[in-house]
Homo-oligomer: A and B are copies of this chain.
Amino acid sequence: MAGNTYGQLFAVTTFGESHGEALGVVIDGCPANLEIDLNFIQQELNRRKPGQSLITTQRKEDESFELLSGVFNGKTTGAPICMMVRNTDQRSKDYETLKEVYRPSHADFTYQMKYGIRDYRGGGRASARETAARVLAGAVAKLYLKQQGIQIQAYVQQVGLVSLAIPYEQLDLTQVESNVVRCPDEPTANRMIKLIEQVGQDGDSVGGAIACVINGAMAGLGEPVFDKLHAEMAKAMLSINACKGFEIGSGFNAAQMLGSEHNDAIERVGNQVRTTSNNSGGIQGGISNGETIYFRCAFKPVSTIRKPQQTINQEGDEVVLAASGRHDPCVVPRAVPIVEAMAALVMMDFYLRNQALQQH
């Protein structure tokens, strides 16, 4: 495969460029007889949509999707599911100026080197617009996982130097969608919003971090030794545009801890085996242990900024670039549904992979 398919059993292939005809996704391997809630899928897509608030880009993307196959009388048939979004607001001419310029920290240069050709309109295939297709597939996975009692919720945990110190267990995650920055703690959310507004006014951008919490996963998901649950999760997260780091449970903090501090003691609570702490982040030996799965990922500041930057063009001449138009000063809030979607694809695939090898 050339990198556009994720998953072994719930195999998701996305296609499309930022300013091409359409972008979409084919899911091969969705179990039959799953009820497809079109409203829920649309709603997930809307969460990713630009122009949702003043802190996000105002490009109007038509994000209504079309279901092309794999569903009959409201249920999946086991056939491949194709969903598609037409590109309508394709002001390609806006991008003619970028035709020959390699934007710093974008994929312009590397795509040109790898493929010897580049669809420069809006970043082409490298545009974050591609993630809309992932959100569509993730929504289907979520519908299935919900039936199995698995719930996925991400939230913005950090924007620049504004960081939410409260651990996930103490947060009310139903509040994530209550503000535009998708941080469940309102005071922190307000500080994040202020920061983003300031950065936007400066023509700059700022990074951040997203935490993700998965509840209800049974013990047994993950396929060691290479396809450990957190290893695949790391891959899935780092495949998202601008993601720079991933940590499971204690993560980088583990590097400075002692074993006696870090080990999660095991106890019996009623009929259940539980751990008294969760530095493992719900995964041990690459397999879920039935506790909450918890991970965090870092996002760099958006590369496109209005401030002038030094770069070169395809001819190798040095030029100064200053982006015009409005761009997201902080992509992190909009990445929340993408993180959830990718997490759902990972969980879904491991659910099916685990099921394949069980005795029934």
Contact = CB atoms under 8 A, between A and B. Distances in A.
A316 B273 contact: yes
B204 A310 contact: no
A72 interface: yes
A1 B9 contact: yes
Contacts of A220: 110, 113-114
A100 to B, nearest CB: 13
B118 A219 contact: no
Total copies of this chain within the assembly:
4
The SS class assigned to the A binding surface is: mixed
A28 to B, nearest CB: 4
Interface stretch (A46-54, A56-64, A245-253): A245-253
Q: Contact size class for A? A: 35 or more
Interface in A200-247: 204-209, 219-228, 230-239, 244-247
Contacts of A115: 32-33, 77-78
A9 B311 CA distance: 35
A153 interface: no
A268 interface: yes
Interface stretch (A36-44, A170-178, A181-189, A299-307): A299-307
A105 B280 contact: yes
A140 to B, nearest CB: 14
Contacts of A84: 68
Contact of A258 (B204, B227, B251): B204
